[in-house]
């Protein structure tokens, strides 16, 4: 039993050391300052450079699906359920099963609409 527990702790530590936060991932896309006006007039690649700034200004746990749409406008992508809010950001040379560009996804609770997590697909890498 003790060996099993030690193995579990080691696995958790390894995952914690290798996983990066969504803000850290977003920083790999660029560091332009976010404003609602700049986002509205930006193209997909320019929006990618603003994601880290947006997430730094607006902690996901304080957002709802509706407030994300108020800040970022109508979704430009789709992820699994209608309640999730998704936007294509960054260069279109990046591809995934969802389309061209990174998919910035705000996962929303289906009942309350509160944002429970944010992910970028595929995960940006150095």
Q: How far is CA 45 from the centre of its chain?
A: 15
pTM of the model: 0.84
Which residues neighbour 38 within 8 Å (Cβ) at sequence distance 6 or greater? 32, 46, 50
What local confidence, expressed as pLDDT, does residue 126 receive? 84
List, for residues 48-69, the tens digit of each pLDDT value.
Answer: 999 999 999 999 999 999 999 9
């Amino acid at each position: 039993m003790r060996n099993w527990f030690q193995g579990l702790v080691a696995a958790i530590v390894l995952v914690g050391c290798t996983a990066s936060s969504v803000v850290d991932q977003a920083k790999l896309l660029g560091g332009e300052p976010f404003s609602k006006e700049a986002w509205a007039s930006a193209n997909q690649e320019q929006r990618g450079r603003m994601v880290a700034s947006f997430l730094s200004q607006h902690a996901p746990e304080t957002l709802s699906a509706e407030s994300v749409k108020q800040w970022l406008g109508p979704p430009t992508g789709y992820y699994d359920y209608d309640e999730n809010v998704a936007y294509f950001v960054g260069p279109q040379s990046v591809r995934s099963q969802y389309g061209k560009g990174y998919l910035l996804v705000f996962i929303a609770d289906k009942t309350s609409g509160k944002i429970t997590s944010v992910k970028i697909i595929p995960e940006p890498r150095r």
